[in-house]
Structure 1
Amino acid sequence: MTAHNHAIQTLADAVLSMEIENVPDDAVNNAKRCLIDVCGVTLAGAKTDSAKTLYETAVETYKPGCCNILGTSHVLNAPGAAFANGAAAHALDFDDNCYAGIVHGSAVVFPSVLAIAQQRGATGAELLLGFVTGLEVEFAVAKALSNSIYDRGWWTTSVLGTIGSAAGAAKIARLDNETTRNALALAVVGAGATRAVRGTTAKHYYCGRAAESGVLAVMAAERGATGPINAFEDQSGIARVLNGAEFDPKAIEALGVEFGISQPGVDIKKYPVCYASHAAADATKEIMNSNGLTANDVAAVTCTVPPLVASNLTYSTPKTAAEAQFSLEFAISSIIEHGDIELKHLETAILTSPPIERLLGKIVVKVGDVPERYRSAESICPEWGSVELVTHCGARKLAFAASPIGSASRPLSDDMLQKKFNSCAEYRNSANAPLFLYGRMRNIELIGNAQELFT
């Protein structure tokens, strides 16, 4: 097998050849929406105890620098900033999702490319291109491995995000082909965390580590560090060890021709909880609103979901915000009690309040197939939800959500996206952020120096 048959070489070629004028307009627009969203959720996430703990860890570990820590007035060097911002971006589990790999793409790639862009004084246009490049490499590798890697228990945000963050950072750093190969190889062979992270600080930690790893891989490769060009194909390579040797190189050969940010697309969350709960939450909201029901009307709720949803949402009686984010029972209870799921509903006093605790006991979650009456529905996503609600009067109300609001097939409107951004900024008490940051992200290609983004 020659070097040009190796996936690492194909990826490096794609990184070097990616140019923004060759990216379709819809993909560029989707990328800008993702930038807006991830900035907002990082600002909000910086308020959490988890993000603060990991930021303090970063301060003790890394040197000062010129890279912003969002939601604070502090700066660190590039690896430190990537780590701290990556942890904050995912701390509320409010960041975007993609079914290519079932990954949180922006929360890893954005902190990496932002750090490198600020370290190198890159333009906003270069940052945007690095962001698109990182996401596309991540999604392409995800398609090549298929979602079986997720099913095997690997947390793909860590495994694949490390690769995407290295690709985006390499693009901004303008590495040559050989150095890009080594940066990617360094990232690939060190990637990985398991899905056991859910509901704990480990999830935020490994999101930050994936962003940091991409930056470090680029910096090390620039200094001569090497990695195995057969990182995917080796008998002990990532495809065999993590995925039973399942790997389709055609997916990465399509880089620059097909764009994962458009197909399957990116899901921007409406609710600050695990995306697996969103479809069932929307179905519950439809029942409550269309029938004019209140929490006092609800006697029992049965949610039927696919195995993927049940495997992610494992906390039936959550006691902390981190547990509530992985509780379908909490998501349904919040919709019934509050009519929504907002950041304020994740406060301990609210999520453990008597009304919520009473509702938790009325909700049953079952694993099953799509109900027969809904099997002809269009765009049924892997995390669909079917809800049956019984009132105290004995009435049975049914609703099915094939995909949630905010999914790639049902995207948030620009107004909804800006409302979400504003709510995140307000949650962080960053009153002035909505006045300039939203516009800067929307027109990021006009920024002359990435260090100007947050000043």
Structure 2
Amino acid sequence: MSALTLDLARLASGLRLCDLSDPAQHWAKRAITDTLACALAGVNEPAVRLAVGVLPASPGPSLVFGTGHRLHPLDAAQINGIAAHALDFDDCNLEMDGHPSVSIVPGLFALAEARNASGAQVLTAYVAGVEAEIRLARIANPAHAERGWHPTVTFGVIGAAVAAAHLMRLSPEHTATAMSIAASSAAGLRANSGTMTKPFHAGQANRNGVQAALLAEAGYTARLSALEHKFGFLRAFGDSFDVDPGPALDGWGKDFALLSPGIAIKQYPCCAFIHCAIDAAAQLRGDIKTAQIERIEVALHHKRLKNIDRPMPKDGLDAKFSTQHLTARALIDGTVGLDDFHPERVLDPTVVALAAKVALVPHEEGLSMGLVHVWLADGRHLSAEATVAMGRDPSNPMTQSQVRAKFHDCVPPSDQSTALFDALMQLETFPSLAPITAAICPPPPK
């Protein structure tokens, strides 16, 4: 295998804002904006509050989103990373089989404040990191994810290291060192999906990625072939040592992974594998009364069912991975929203009773496709199908107004939040992040 680690580091460290096409810049800014919105919505979740009470934290220059507190960049990166993933509302990517932005944006903002970086530097560093992690996933998946690793942290920590190294203007060799240090902290199990440990993974990816870049800058050493080494990342996490590195390197700076297959902004705050089932169930809502339903069948891809067959979720986090529960909620309400994961909504007897009628069956069609069948007491059989969930693919993107609407679902509308959205969508024009982080802080009491 070629010198994958160093080759990828050379490409990433050489990326400049002028290399980014207008669509790449636009989609990157949407993803950054969406990630910050998810963090602000998640900052008061139990997973964040409990972590803040336990994890060590030192004062510093970096903002804890949604608060007036400022911490050391590593501490802010970790807490903000947990917050951004706490609701499972942040973006995702099919090749990565995980969440690309949440592993990078919180740490990047924390580091950018400490280094007084510009918006253009942040935007370019974000793209470098996202491209690196998705392209690495391209040659390691599906074996990597199917072994049980959580790609959001295992690929994400390397993307975070690349983004941080780019922001710090490290050389290709130091960038490769940061990647190799980060590779030694890549860990996270899909078994912990539906628990607080899943967002903790995102916090670790941010902290460890930034830490790896800081260590590399300070002169720390690591083998510059940690990805492709015979005892390295690809061999340890996958099925084979003999992996073609071409797809990770070819078309860099031209064929952006964030555009194709793209970064998918979520319409619903739950596991993306279930979104097409929700869409299909919502299509049927107007044609039936839930009291008439005798039986429900949901068909999803067999590879997806392993993690989303949870007939009796015990709490809101667990419910985010329950196809049965979310299909029932969509049949009742026509959608799934943030409030639906509060305890009283998860344990709503009407939803619980309807979810008990849901049977899951595997299919071999498109990876995202969801098909819902409903049999009614009057003998009718209705069905609906969704092939691509909104926002999941470039063929069915969220419009800019829909992205703004989701932002304000997460951050209640106000002059300050509107200004924040508009500023983030012009990120590259800001000489520093100070005006943006000022808008992220809560308004002073009147």
TM-score norm. by structure 2 comes to 0.94
Partner of 1:268: 265
Contact 2:62–2:71 at 8 Å: present in 1 too?
A: yes
CA offsets, 1:15-62, max 9 Å, x none? 22101111121111111110111111111111211122123334xx13
Partner of 2:444: none
Aligned counterparts of 1:319 and 1:312: Cα–Cα separation in 2: 15
Contact 1:145–1:248 at 8 Å: present in 2 too?
A: no
* Stretch of structure 1 that moved more, 43-52 or 296-305: 296-305
Residue 28 in 1 paired to residue 25 in 2? yes
Contact 1:133–1:171 at 8 Å: present in 2 too?
A: yes
Q: Which residue, out of 146, 153, 170, partners 2:165?
A: 170
CA offsets, 1:268-295, max 9 Å, x none? 1101010011001101111223x2x232
For these two proteins, the number of residue pairs brought into alignment is 435
Aligned counterparts of 2:301 and 2:349: Cα–Cα separation in 1: 29
Matches within 5 A, 1:26-105: 26-58=23-55, 61-105=56-100
Kindly state the Cα deviation for residue 192 of structure 1 after the two structures are TM-superposed.
1.9
The code of the aligned residue for 1:275 comes to A
The code of the aligned residue for 2:398 comes to L
Structure 1: which 5+ residue stretches go unaligned?
A: 371-379
Matches within 5 A, 1:271-290: 271-289=268-286
What SS is found at the alignment partner of 2:236? helix
Q: Which residue, out of 336, 340, 356, partners 2:335?
A: 340
Partner of 1:182: 177
Residue 152 in 1 paired to residue 147 in 2? yes
Structure 2: which 5+ residue stretches go unaligned?
A: 439-446
Assess, with a 3 A threshold, how the Cα gap between structure 1 residues 25 and 117 changes in structure 2: closer, same or farther.
same
Kindly state the Cα deviation for residue 434 of structure 1 after the two structures are TM-superposed.
2.2
What SS is found at the alignment partner of 1:98? coil
Aligned counterparts of 1:46 and 1:431: Cα–Cα separation in 2: 18
Partner of 1:391: 376
The code of the aligned residue for 1:13 comes to R
How much identity, in percent, do the aligned residues show? 28
Partner of 1:138: 133
Contact 1:297–1:391 at 8 Å: present in 2 too?
A: yes
Assess, with a 3 A threshold, how the Cα gap between structure 1 residues 42 and 432 changes in structure 2: closer, same or farther.
farther
Assess, with a 3 A threshold, how the Cα gap between structure 1 residues 297 and 49 changes in structure 2: closer, same or farther.
same
What SS is found at the alignment partner of 2:361? strand
Partner of 2:325: 330
Aligned counterparts of 1:44 and 1:330: Cα–Cα separation in 2: 22
Kindly state the Cα deviation for residue 432 of structure 1 after the two structures are TM-superposed.
5.1
Kindly state the Cα deviation for residue 8 of structure 1 after the two structures are TM-superposed.
1.2
Matches within 5 A, 1:42-441: 42-58=39-55, 61-244=56-239, 245=241, 247-254=243-250, 255-289=252-286, 291=287, 293-370=288-365, 380=366, 382-408=367-393, 409-426=395-412, 431=414, 433-441=416-424
Q: Which residue, out of 416, 433, 448, partners 2:431?
A: 448
Kindly state the Cα deviation for residue 431 of structure 1 after the two structures are TM-superposed.
4.8
Assess, with a 3 A threshold, how the Cα gap between structure 1 residues 432 and 196 changes in structure 2: closer, same or farther.
farther
Contact 1:239–1:246 at 8 Å: present in 2 too?
A: no
| Structural RMSD (CA) | 1.5
Kindly state the Cα deviation for residue 433 of structure 1 after the two structures are TM-superposed.
4.4
Kindly state the Cα deviation for residue 257 of structure 1 after the two structures are TM-superposed.
3.0
Aligned counterparts of 2:74 and 2:106: Cα–Cα separation in 1: 9
Aligned counterparts of 1:100 and 1:9: Cα–Cα separation in 2: 22
Contact 2:283–2:334 at 8 Å: present in 1 too?
A: no
Aligned counterparts of 1:48 and 1:247: Cα–Cα separation in 2: 40
What SS is found at the alignment partner of 2:280? helix
Aligned counterparts of 1:332 and 1:252: Cα–Cα separation in 2: 37
Contact 1:82–1:211 at 8 Å: present in 2 too?
A: yes
Aligned counterparts of 2:54 and 2:114: Cα–Cα separation in 1: 21
Aligned counterparts of 1:234 and 1:35: Cα–Cα separation in 2: 33
Contact 1:270–1:405 at 8 Å: present in 2 too?
A: yes
Kindly state the Cα deviation for residue 147 of structure 1 after the two structures are TM-superposed.
2.2
TM-score norm. by structure 1 comes to 0.93
Aligned counterparts of 1:404 and 1:172: Cα–Cα separation in 2: 34
Contact 1:425–1:433 at 8 Å: present in 2 too?
A: no
Partner of 2:14: 17
What SS is found at the alignment partner of 2:60? coil
* Stretch of structure 1 that moved more, 268-277 or 190-199: 190-199
Kindly state the Cα deviation for residue 413 of structure 1 after the two structures are TM-superposed.
1.1
Kindly state the Cα deviation for residue 128 of structure 1 after the two structures are TM-superposed.
0.7
Contact 2:302–2:364 at 8 Å: present in 1 too?
A: no
What SS is found at the alignment partner of 1:43? helix
The code of the aligned residue for 2:249 comes to E
CA offsets, 1:100-123, max 9 Å, x none? 221201111101211111110001
Contact 2:285–2:333 at 8 Å: present in 1 too?
A: no
Aligned counterparts of 1:227 and 1:316: Cα–Cα separation in 2: 46
Kindly state the Cα deviation for residue 248 of structure 1 after the two structures are TM-superposed.
2.2
Partner of 1:375: none
Aligned counterparts of 1:148 and 1:425: Cα–Cα separation in 2: 37
The code of the aligned residue for 1:83 comes to Q
Contact 1:298–1:391 at 8 Å: present in 2 too?
A: yes
